[in-house]
Structure formats: structure tokens, C-alpha cells
Structure 1
């Protein structure tokens, strides 16, 4: 009986060791995949005319700073024409 329990204990330990070794390589592969899917953050700028924040790649360079691509904003000559009734 003691030999049977010893054999089961050895088999159990062997199984845990093998599972640990195989599991760590699987976790490393999953971690690499997650790192590939991480979002890449981009610098944001504020529109000089309407004040909206946008990624730098979507902004247009203007004399007074960065401008968004909205037609209403792009037509404005400067900040002074921003007066709206509230």
C-alpha cells in the first residue's frame, strides 16, 4: 500500500512538473500576442479654432496652429469668428 501511494505521489509530481514547463511556454506565447495587440498612443493636439482635441495625424497645419478637418471649422478665418449665440 505504501508503495502504491509513493508511486501515485511520484506520478502526480511528474505531471505537475511537466504541466508547469509546458504551461509557461504557452503563457509566454499568449503574452507576446497580447503585447502585439496593445494600442499605440499618438500625440493629441487641440484645434486652434474650435478647441476640439484630435490625434496629430488627423490635424491640419495652419498659420495659427493645428486645425481639425471639420468644414465649419476650416472655413473660419480666425478665432474671432467663433462667436455663437448661447
Structure 2
């Protein structure tokens, strides 16, 4: 499990920067960004076999963790005003 978290930690800044680059260059709907981050991180983790001795399932888990973490990392730093159910 430690190797899965290590791979996810390595993938996290890579996925975050690629998704941020895509957001700044291509017009993407905001609700698709988390899905793009997860799919991209799973793809990168899948092709990372020369760099790790983890089997495919563990690399997929690491990619999933990295994709979810990269989306969460961005959402934490984003400032938003208002309420979800409208102004009170």
C-alpha cells in the first residue's frame, strides 16, 4: 500500500498541471474537469509500468487516488462566493 501512495504522490502534481494547462487552453465544461483528472491519472498510472514494480491493479488504484486528490487540491484553493441553495 505504501508503494501505491508513493506512486499517487508522484502522479498528483503531474496530473494537476496537465489538467490546469488543458483548462487554460481548451474550453472545457467545469463539471467535466474532475472526470478528466481521474481518467487522465488512471491512463498515466497504467503506462507507468517501466518505473514501478506494482501490478496493474495497484497502478490503477494509484491513478484513481491521484486523480481524486488533484481535483480536491484545486477545489480547496478555489475561492467561491454565495451559497449552494441561493442567497439567504
Q: TM-score, normalised on structure 2?
A: 0.28
> Which structure has the highest helix share of the two?
2
> Which of the pair is proportionally richer in strand?
1
Structure number with the bigger relative contact order (C-alpha 8 A, sep ≥ 6) is 2
